[in-house]
A and B are shown apart, each in its own frame.
Chain A
Amino acid sequence: MSETKKLLEVKNLRTSFFFGGKEVKAVNDVSYYINEQEIVAVVGESGCGKSVTQMSVMQLVQTPPGKILGGEVLFEGKNLLDYKPKSREMQAVRGAKIAMIFQEPMTSLNPVYTVGSQITEVIRRHKKCTKKEAWELGVKALSDVGIPDPEARMKNYPFEMSGGMRQRALIAIAVACNSKLIIADEPTTALDVTTQAQVMELLLKIVETMHTSLLIVTHNLGLVSRYAQRIYVMYAGRIVESGTTEDLLIHPAHPYTIGLLKSVPKLEERQGEQLIPIEGSPPNLAKLADYCAFCPRCPYATEECRTRPAPELRSVDGKLHFTACHLEAIPEEGK
């Protein structure tokens, strides 16, 4: 971790969806960054805005109903939000500099074109090369991601491949274009456990050998704890806690993070210790109160939490560990 140059920095990003006059604040003043060659995770329950945040970075939010209301997305010194979503400049970033991998490998490839034709199309879009060169790059990328017999696989249609294989093919596109940053949105959720591990190892290998950065979006804390260097925890469209993986897992400062950790099974679990789910369900983003959004589910909430405005991120230890909670200390037995 000698390198500390920021590759991507998101500042005060706000994205909302508008349904019949109602505003749903999916991303509410979110800031984060990722350094070069760093692996960072964004963690949260489904519907907390973690995917929408990434879609906003790529300017892929469906408009309407969605709209990016403000903020900055700084990548290599440029604010990506200055580009129009359908502009040539933005398209030159997508796939080439920032690659995105999605949750559903089964449906993320076009069923009526061969894998090879889809890979070469992207390569030719971003690199000046002939069809033949693109094809060869594609074959190489497929073999880089560990697909056996890549020549033959190029000619296959997506439906002729398994889910894991398809996810690898999607990663191959990112590899082929030498992306600086790979955003993986729940990359393993739809896969079975053994394939999950393989895909994660593959991503890790790519980060090491190709010097890319990796942003993992997931609800799976267990997965993250093994791979990520830093973690952002999102709740109801906001980042509620951030810090190094170690800080977060060992000294969680936000009641939501504590709740998440208690609901994850651990291998080294002492016998008899129970998994404790977080009570209640995520709030309706269309009807957010002015105060802390986690309040109704928070076991430590005090009267003060309901009267003061929603908490801002504040440093816990004066370094990299931040939390958005009014409480100075969480009662010890809770941890």
Chain B
Amino acid sequence: MRRFILKRIGISLIVIMLISVFSFSLVHLLPGDPAVLALGSEATKEQIRNFREEFHLNEPVVKQYVIWIKNALHGDFGISIAYKRSVISCLSERLPRTIAIGLPALIISSILGILFGIISAVNRGKFIDKMITFIVTLGIGTPTFWLGMIGILVFGLKMGILPLSGFVSPSENFAQYVYYSIMPVTVLSLTLLASVARQTRSNMLEVINQDFIRTARANGLAERSVIYRHALKNSLIPVITTIGMQVRVIVGGSLIVEQLFNIAGIGTLLVSAVSARDYMVVQGCVFLISLFTVACNFIVDVLYGLVDPRIRKAWR
């Protein structure tokens, strides 16, 4: 167990290092001189030189990287050109909003996705299975931005029952938070829900055809136990991985949803930073978001072992 976790930690550290290299090199890939971008085209040569000095832009690339990573380890990702304040303060101010939309979406879509997947698999070939499969197919193929827009058009503009955009923090006013986040959370959930349901269904169908399910039935176990005790645990193991992978999709989806519903979260920050070439913000965002997904993958791997005795044994 300990060896396995240590190995996973080792791999995660390598991945984090590679990610840091990628995030760092973005500055040098993005077109334009960061100093000029930061100070505007009217800046004097003097100002530009000072700026380059302050942010070590004259140093060799490798040294710049070392300085960047050293600062990053202390939580210092530089300053935002657009907001004239530290990147980390921009991020920490916006993070709760992104979580307030993303986390409920992740939970709702995982639970409903698994539920729909089971219902679909158990009733294979029946009307309800076909219905769910149809909705799942739509969910996977519908662009999030377009779906959100249709939502705004129908529920906001035409029927007027849901707000067009905006956000209220749950700590401020919970009822208002729910009211404002119904649409963004629903829109964000849909794609993930669809892929979880699809994955659960196909795993479940595969497991139901296996010999040990036949044994369970031949031993007179109740159908409920056959499905929910014997089939489900086996089919959920791969679903854990799917959900882990889908954290990436939720993060990507937040980008669109936040932009669409005008929520000042990490997503909107990143989108505006990319178009404004606010490179330190881009660096910081990419690095921290990726760090977060690495952490999620690590948790998924450990969970996987806790659920599956075969892997747990390999850990020993």
A residues apposed to B, CB below 8 Å: 58, 60, 64, 86, 88, 90-96, 99-100, 102, 104, 107-114, 121-122, 125-126, 157, 159-160, 170, 173
Contacts and interface: CB of A to CB of B under 8 A. Distances in A.
Contacts of A108: 211-212, 214-215
Interface of B: 125, 210-212, 214-223, 225, 229-230, 233-234, 237, 307-310, 313
A93 B220 contact: yes
Contacts of B237: 112
B308 A102 contact: no
Contact of A102 (B215, B230, B233, B307): B215
B218 A58 contact: yes
A125 B308 CA distance: 25
Contacts of B210: 107
Given A95-B219, A100-B218, A111-B309, 18 more contacts: A91-B221, A92-B220, A93-B220, A94-B217, A94-B218, A99-B218, A107-B210, A110-B234, A111-B234, A112-B234, A112-B308, A112-B309, A113-B233, A122-B219, A125-B219, A125-B220, A157-B310, A160-B313
23 contacts: A60-B217, A86-B223, A90-B220, A94-B218, A94-B220, A99-B218, A102-B211, A102-B214, A107-B212, A110-B216, A110-B230, A110-B234, A111-B234, A112-B307, A112-B310, A113-B233, A122-B220, A125-B219, A125-B222, A157-B310, A157-B313, A159-B309, A170-B215
A166 to B, nearest CB: 11
A118 to B, nearest CB: 8
Nearest to B230: A110
**7 pairs of A and B residues whose beta carbons are closest in the complex:** A95-B220, A95-B219, A94-B220, A107-B211, A100-B218, A91-B220, A110-B212
Chain B interface helix/strand/loop/mixed: helix
Nearest to A157: B309
A122 B221 contact: yes
Given A86-B223, A94-B220, A95-B221, A111 B310 contact: yes
Contacts of B212: 107-111
A281 B308 CA distance: 43
B102 to A, nearest CB: 31
A107 B214 CA distance: 10
A160 B222 CA distance: 27
Contacts of B307: 112
Contact of B310 (A64, A109, A121, A159): A159
A121 B215 CA distance: 12
Contacts of B225: 121, 125
Contacts of A60: 214, 217-218
Contacts of B220: 90-96, 122, 125-126
Nearest to B209: A62
A108 B211 CA distance: 5
A67 B16 CA distance: 56
Contacts of A114: 309
Contacts of A100: 218
A99 B219 contact: yes
A90 B220 CA distance: 8
A109 B309 contact: no
A108 B212 CA distance: 4
A91 B222 contact: yes
- Tell me which of A86, A110, A159, A173 has the highest count of chain B C-beta atoms within 10 A of its own C-beta: A110
A109 B214 CA distance: 9
Nearest to B309: A157
Given A112-B308, A160-B313, A95 B218 contact: yes
A66 B221 CA distance: 21
A104 B209 CA distance: 14
A159 B313 contact: yes
B167 to A, nearest CB: 42
Nearest to A170: B215
B309 A94 contact: no
Contacts of B234: 110-112
B24 to A, nearest CB: 43
A108 B220 CA distance: 15
A31 B219 CA distance: 24
Contacts of A109: 212, 215
Nearest to A126: B220
A184 to B, nearest CB: 12
Nearest to B217: A60
A173 B310 contact: no
A116 to B, nearest CB: 13
Nearest to A110: B212
Given A60-B214, A108-B212, A109-B212, A125 B310 contact: no
- Tell me which of B218, B229, B230, B234 has the highest count of chain A C-beta atoms within 10 A of its own C-beta: B218
B99 to A, nearest CB: 33
Contacts of A99: 218-219
A225 B309 CA distance: 42
Contacts of A58: 218
B234 to A, nearest CB: 6
Nearest to B312: A157
Nearest to B212: A110
Contacts of A112: 233-234, 237, 307-310
A107 B213 CA distance: 10
- Tell me which of B219, B229, B230, B313 has the highest count of chain A C-beta atoms within 10 A of its own C-beta: B219
- Tell me which of A94, A96, A170 has the highest count of chain B C-beta atoms within 10 A of its own C-beta: A94
A157 B251 CA distance: 38
